[in-house]
Chain A
Amino acid sequence: MELEKLAQLKSGDPVLFAELVRDHHRALIALTVPIVGISEAEEVVQNAWLKAYQAISSFAGKSAIRTWLGSIAINEAKMQLRQRKRESLFSDHGDENQYTEDSLAQRFTERGHWQHPPAHWHTDSPESLLTGEQLAECLEKLLTAMPDNQRCILEMRDASGLPFDEICSELTVSSANARVLLHRARTQLFKLVDHYEETGEC
């Protein structure tokens, strides 16, 4: 974000704040659904926006704005759980290896060499790689079907940019398991995009 725009935002400009809501609201919903469930995520994110609006003048700009908003939303989600005396929907299942097979496992020979190496991807820009109309639809299906714990870590780490240590402590998950979950989530996306880039279909 440009400095001038950030300064205006920090001074409480409602139009710019509405722009922020437009750009990040859906991401914050996706971030909190695996923690509080779909029925309460909207309320949690609404409270997070309120907190963000009240605190925007203190945003230091050290992290990306999405990361800052993400931390606020996670705090609100945790507060909601405490108030309702509920456990997080997210759970650390221990050894993840037994739950889902690595999506790319079939792409290797028995000795671990590539049997079906990655295709050459034509799309360059991060904004357009995942937003092709047909791909976006498949991606949505994939994300919906993804186990909550994988989705949660993908949203926190890759969609919101939260630091890995913070994610492990927020979710009380061991860093080894968090790594496995993140790897599983990313390789599912990789496989989907790779197939799409290779065949034009998904």
Chain B
Amino acid sequence: MLSCRDFVNNADQLLDRDLRVSTRIALRIHLLLCRHCRRYVKQLARLIKAIPFIHNKATEEEVRKVMDCIHSHENT
């Protein structure tokens, strides 16, 4: 019987659909029985979706530097 720790160790791959069918079925069955792991995987999925937003926007100065370099290449 799969433990919650086993489930957590495999949850990334479950979300990435990168598991053998037998393991996936075992994890799905565990999910039916365990509300804590249901919450874990739901929130992990939410976290992964949020990761692209961790980087702040570039400052105007950073943007200008990049664009100036592009324009100087365009003019050569």
> A residues engaging B (CB < 8 A)?
14, 17-18, 21-27, 30, 46, 49-50, 53, 66, 102, 104, 108, 111-114, 117-118, 120-121, 124, 126-127, 129-131, 136, 139, 143, 154, 158-161, 164, 179, 182-183, 186-187, 189-190, 193-194
Q: How many A-B residue pairs have CB under 8 A?
A: 119
Which of B6, B69, B71 neighbours the largest number of chain A CB atoms within 10 Å of its CB? B69
B23 at the interface (CB under 8 A from A): no
Assuming the contacts A50-B73, A114-B36, A186-B12, asked whether A159 and B54 have C-beta atoms less than 8 A apart, the reply is yes
B21 at the interface (CB under 8 A from A): no
Is the beta-carbon distance between B46 and A121 smaller than 8 angstroms? yes
Contact mask for chain B residues 12-45; partner A; CB cutoff 8 A; 1 contact, 0 none: 1100101000000000000000001101100110
> B residues engaging A (CB < 8 A)?
3-6, 8-9, 12-13, 16, 18, 36-37, 39-40, 43-44, 46-58, 62-63, 65-67, 69-71, 73
Assuming the contacts A18-B63, A130-B51, asked whether A190 and B36 have C-beta atoms less than 8 A apart, the reply is no
Min distance, Cβ B18 to any Cβ of chain A, angstroms: 7
CA distance A53 to B18 in the complex (A): 34
